[in-house]
Structure 1
Amino acid sequence: MPVSKDYSERLAQNLEKIVEHYGTPFHLYDEKGIRETGQQLIKAFSGVDFFREYFAVKALPNPTILKLMQDIGFGFDCSSIAELVMSRQIGARGEEIMFTSNNTSGNEFNVAEADGGCILNLDDISLLDKVPEVPELICFRYNPGERRTGNSIIGNPLEAKYGVAHDQLIDAYRKAKSLGVKRFGLHTMLASNELNHAYMVETARMLLDRVDWISNELDIKFDFINIGGGLGIPYRPEEKPLDIVSMGKEISELFKVFKNSHGYTPKLYLESGRYITGPHGVLVTTAINRKEIYRTYVGVDSCMSALMRPGMYGAYHHVSVLNKDGEDEVVDVVGSLCENNDKFAIQRPLPKIEDGDIICIHDTGAHGQAMGFNYNGKVRPKELLLREDGTVQLIRREETLDDLFATLDFDADNLSL
Structure 2
Amino acid sequence: MKTLPLASETLLRIAKKYPTPFYLYDENAIRQNARRLQAAFAWNRGYREFFSVKCNPNPALLSIFKEEGCGVDCASETELLLARACGFSGDDIMFTSNNTTAAEFRLARELDAIINLDDTGHLDFLQRVASLPERISCRYNPGIEIRYQNQCIIDFAGSKFGATKEQISAAFRSLPSQGIKTFGIHAQFGCHRREADYFGSAIRCLFSFAIELFQSSGIKVSFINFAGGLGIPYRPGEDAADIAAVSAAIQAAYDEIIVPSALHPLALFSELGLYMTGPYGYFVSSVLHIKETDKQFAGLDASTNAFLSPLRYNDYHHISVPGKEAQPFNQRYDITGALCENRDRFAVDRELPTLVTGDILVFHDAGAYGYSHSTTFNGKLRPAELLLTAEGSVKTIRRAETPQDYFATLSFDGR
TM range (shorter): over 0.9
Is the counterpart of residue 312 in structure 1 residue 307 in structure 2? no
Q: How many residues align?
A: 405
- Deviation by residue 1:319-363 (Cα, 9 ceiling, x = unmatched): 111111331201111111111111111101101000010110111
TM-score of the pair, normalised by structure 2 = 0.94
Distance 1:196 1:161 in 2: 26
Instruction: Determine the structure 1 residue equivalent to 2:16.
Output: 20
Instruction: Determine the structure 2 residue equivalent to 1:291.
Output: 291
Distance 2:412 2:291 in 1: 43
Distance 1:198 1:78 in 2: 29
Distance 2:26 2:167 in 1: 44
Is the counterpart of residue 117 in structure 1 residue 141 in structure 2? no
Distance 2:398 2:353 in 1: 31
1:125 deviates by 1.2
Check the 8 A contact 2:172/2:219 in 1, yes or no: no
Check the 8 A contact 1:226/1:269 in 2, yes or no: yes
Letter in 2 for 1:324: K
Check the 8 A contact 2:235/2:317 in 1, yes or no: yes
CA separation of 1:11 and 1:371: change in aligned 2, threshold 3 A: farther
1:153 deviates by 5.7
Instruction: Determine the structure 2 residue equivalent to 1:59.
Output: 55
Instruction: Determine the structure 2 residue equivalent to 1:415.
Output: none
Letter in 2 for 1:66: L
Instruction: Determine the structure 1 residue equivalent to 2:388.
Output: 386
CA separation of 1:410 and 1:120: change in aligned 2, threshold 3 A: farther
SS at 1:408 equivalent: coil
SS at 1:77 equivalent: strand
Instruction: Determine the structure 1 residue equivalent to 2:46.
Output: 50
Is the counterpart of residue 99 in structure 1 residue 95 in structure 2? yes
Distance 1:243 1:320 in 2: 25
Check the 8 A contact 1:145/1:166 in 2, yes or no: no
CA separation of 1:150 and 1:76: change in aligned 2, threshold 3 A: farther
Distance 1:381 1:11 in 2: 23
Check the 8 A contact 1:228/1:272 in 2, yes or no: yes
1:204 deviates by 1.7
CA separation of 1:83 and 1:345: change in aligned 2, threshold 3 A: same
Letter in 2 for 1:339: E
Check the 8 A contact 1:51/1:268 in 2, yes or no: yes
Distance 2:146 2:317 in 1: 27
Distance 2:270 2:112 in 1: 20
**What is the percent sequence identity of the aligned residues?**
40
Structure 2 residue aligned with 1:141, among 139, 142, 145?
139
1:179 deviates by 2.1
Letter in 2 for 1:143: N
Instruction: Determine the structure 2 residue equivalent to 1:191.
Output: 190
SS at 1:201 equivalent: helix
Check the 8 A contact 2:279/2:367 in 1, yes or no: yes
CA separation of 1:338 and 1:11: change in aligned 2, threshold 3 A: farther
1:95 deviates by 1.0
TM-score of the pair, normalised by structure 1 = 0.94
Gaps of 5+ in 1: 412-417
Check the 8 A contact 2:334/2:349 in 1, yes or no: yes
Check the 8 A contact 2:173/2:219 in 1, yes or no: no
Gaps of 5+ in 2: none
CA separation of 1:9 and 1:211: change in aligned 2, threshold 3 A: closer
